[in-house]
Amino acid sequence: ASAPEVNYQAGTSPLADVPMYQSANPKAPKMTQAEFDRARQTYFERCAGCHGVLRKGATGKPLTPDITLAKGTDYLKVFIAYGSPAGMPNWQTSGEMTEADVDLMARFIQQDPPQPPEWGMADMKKTWKIVVEPKDRPTRKMNNYNIANIFSTTLRDTGEVALIDGDTKQIINIVKTGYAVHITRTSASGRYLFVIGRDGRINMIDLWMPKPDNVAEIRMGLEARSVDTSKYKGKEGDFTDKLAIAGAYWPPQFVIMDGNTLEPLKIVSTRGVTVDTQDYHPEPRVASIVASHFKPEFIVNVKETGKTLMVDYSDINALKVTELGSARYLHDGGWDSTKRYFMVAANNSNKVGVIDAKEGKMEAIVDVGKIPHPGRGANFVHPKFGPVWSTGHLGDDTISLIGTDPKKHKQYAFKEVAKLKGPGGGALFIKSHPKSTHLYSDAPLNPDPKISQSVVVYDIKNLDKGYTVLPIAEWAGLPDDGGAKRVVQPEFNKAGDEVWFSVWSAKDKASALVVVDDKTLKLKAVIKDPRIITPTGHFNVNNTQHDVY
Q: Which residues are catalytic?
A: 47, 50-51, 88, 331, 373
Q: Mark residues 128-147: x for contact with ligand DHE by CB under 6 A, - for none.
A: --------------------
Q: Does 393 bind ligand DHE (CB under 6 A)?
A: no
Q: State the minimum distance, in angstroms, from the CB of residue 92 to ligand DHE.
A: 22
Q: Does 288 bind ligand DHE (CB under 6 A)?
A: yes
CA angle, corner 430, sides to 11 and 428, nearest 5? 15
d(CA 445, CA 171): 28
Q: Does 225 bind ligand DHE (CB under 6 A)?
A: yes
Q: Phi/psi of residue 314, each to 5°?
A: -65, -25
Among 2, 3, 8, 150, the residue binding ligand DHE under the rule CB under 6 A is 8
Do the Cβ atoms of 46 and 11 come closer than 8 Å?
no
Q: Does 375 bind ligand DHE (CB under 6 A)?
A: yes
d(CA 128, CA 448): 44
Among 1, 11, 17, 118, the residue binding ligand DHE under the rule CB under 6 A is 11
Return the sign of the alpha-carbon dihedral for residues 63, 67, 71, 74: positive
Q: Does 340 bind ligand DHE (CB under 6 A)?
A: no
Q: Does 373 bind ligand DHE (CB under 6 A)?
A: no
Q: Does 289 bind ligand DHE (CB under 6 A)?
A: yes
Among 162, 180, 246, 473, the residue binding ligand DHE under the rule CB under 6 A is 180
d(CA 387, CA 469): 25
Helix (H, G, I), strand (E, B) or coil at 81: helix
Q: State the minimum distance, in angstroms, from the CB of residue 537 to ligand DHE.
A: 2
Taking CB positions, which residue lies at the least distance from ligand DHE?
Answer: 537
Instruction: Decide whether 119 or 539 has the Cβ nearer to ligand DHE.
Output: 539
**CA 60 to each of CA 50, 51, 84, 121, 342: distance values in angstroms, whole numbers, following the listed order:** 5, 5, 11, 32, 27
Edge to edge, the sheet with strand 286-291 lists 286-291, 297-302, 307-312, 320-325
Q: State the minimum distance, in angstroms, from the CB of residue 507 to ligand DHE.
A: 13
Beta-carbon count within 10 A of 176 CB = 14
Nearest one of 335, 394, 342 to 370, comparing CA atoms: 394
Edge to edge, the sheet with strand 160-165 lists 171-176, 160-165, 150-155, 535-540
Size of the site for ligand DHE (CB under 6 A): 23
Instruction: Decide whether 103 or 332 has the Cβ nearer to ligand DHE.
Output: 332
Instruction: Decide whether 427 or 463 has the Cβ nearer to ligand DHE.
Output: 427
Q: Does 59 bind ligand DHE (CB under 6 A)?
A: no
Residue 470 exposure: Cα atoms within 13 Å on the Cβ side = 29
Among 49, 52, 200, 221, the residue binding ligand DHE under the rule CB under 6 A is 49
d(CA 134, CA 434): 36
Q: Does 160 bind ligand DHE (CB under 6 A)?
A: no
Q: Does 182 bind ligand DHE (CB under 6 A)?
A: yes
Among 46, 295, 376, 409, the residue binding ligand DHE under the rule CB under 6 A is 376
Q: Which of 98-106, 285-293, 306-314, 467-475 is the region at the interface with ligand DHE (rule: CB under 6 A)?
A: 285-293
Q: What residues does 153 pair with on adjacent strands?
A: 162, 538
Q: State the minimum distance, in angstroms, from the CB of residue 538 to ligand DHE.
A: 8
Count of helix runs (H) and strand runs (E) in the chain? 10, 37
Q: Does 428 bind ligand DHE (CB under 6 A)?
A: yes
Q: Does 51 bind ligand DHE (CB under 6 A)?
A: no
Q: Does 191 bind ligand DHE (CB under 6 A)?
A: no
Instruction: Decide whether 46 or 219 has the Cβ nearer to ligand DHE.
Output: 46
Q: Does 537 bind ligand DHE (CB under 6 A)?
A: yes
Q: Does 231 bind ligand DHE (CB under 6 A)?
A: no
Helix (H, G, I), strand (E, B) or coil at 359: coil
**CA 404 to each of CA 94, 122, 373: distance values in angstroms, whole numbers, following the listed order:** 43, 44, 18
d(CA 50, CA 55): 9
Q: Which of 50-58, 94-102, 281-289, 312-320 is the region at the interface with ligand DHE (rule: CB under 6 A)?
A: 281-289
Q: State the minimum distance, in angstroms, from the CB of residue 478 to ligand DHE.
A: 19
Helix (H, G, I), strand (E, B) or coil at 288: strand
Do the Cβ atoms of 442 and 458 come closer than 8 Å?
no
Q: Which amino acid is at 36?
A: F
Instruction: Decide whether 77 or 303 has the Cβ nearer to ligand DHE.
Output: 303
Nearest one of 291, 254, 286 to 269, comparing CA atoms: 254
CA angle, corner 413, sides to 407 and 419, nearest 5? 140
Q: Does 291 bind ligand DHE (CB under 6 A)?
A: no
Q: Does 226 bind ligand DHE (CB under 6 A)?
A: yes
Q: Does 489 bind ligand DHE (CB under 6 A)?
A: yes
Q: Phi/psi of residue 521, each to 5°?
A: 60, 30
Helix (H, G, I), strand (E, B) or coil at 450: helix
Q: Does 270 bind ligand DHE (CB under 6 A)?
A: no
Binding site for ligand DHE (CB under 6 A): 8-9, 11, 49, 156, 180, 182-183, 225-226, 287-289, 331-332, 375-376, 428-429, 488-489, 536-537
